[in-house]
Amino acid sequence: MPVGARVVSDPEWSLTDVDWLIASRDYEAGIGSHGHPLDEATSADANPANPDAKYSYAAGPAPDVDWAERARLNAQQVHRATLRDDESANGMYFPVRKVWRT
């Protein structure tokens, strides 16, 4: 007697969910590290040397500190100092975790 199988799919993501994910990733790819769309940040409309510019950008007055990023970069710096000249830290990942103070 032949043995058969029946596959029933219960997708975790609908086609609409997938479309939203793709659209979100496309949008995020166009955002600069400053949080503004690159097509706007690099536009002639934002160029301070352009007398017809429609807007400009201002930073500050003081920098914010990304404490998680600082911890990651500090860990990289400490580790790199332990490497021999013929060793590379390329590709090493330093995970950051939140540590609650007690």
Which tens digits make up the pLDDT trace of 86-100? Answer: 999 888 999 999 999
Residue-wise pLDDT tens digits, 42-97: 999 999 999 999 999 999 888 889 999 999 999 999 999 999 999 998 889 999 99
Residue-wise pLDDT tens digits, 21-45: 999 999 999 999 999 999 999 999 9
Pair 74, 57 in one domain: no
Whether 4 is covered by a domain: the verdict is no
Domain span at residue 84 reads: 65-102
Nearest of 34, 30, 36, 76 to residue 55 by alpha carbon? 36
What lies within 8 Å, CB to CB, of 59 at 6+ separation is 34
Pair 22, 58 in one domain: yes
Please provide the DSSP assignment of 28-78 as one string: HHTB-TTSSBHHHHTSGGG-TT-TT--------SS----HHHHHHHHHHHH
pLDDT-derived band of residue 11, with 50, 70 and 90 as boundaries?
A: confident
Whether 41 is covered by a domain: the verdict is yes
Pair 20, 55 in one domain: yes
Whether 96 is covered by a domain: the verdict is yes
Residue 1 has pLDDT above 70, yes or no: no
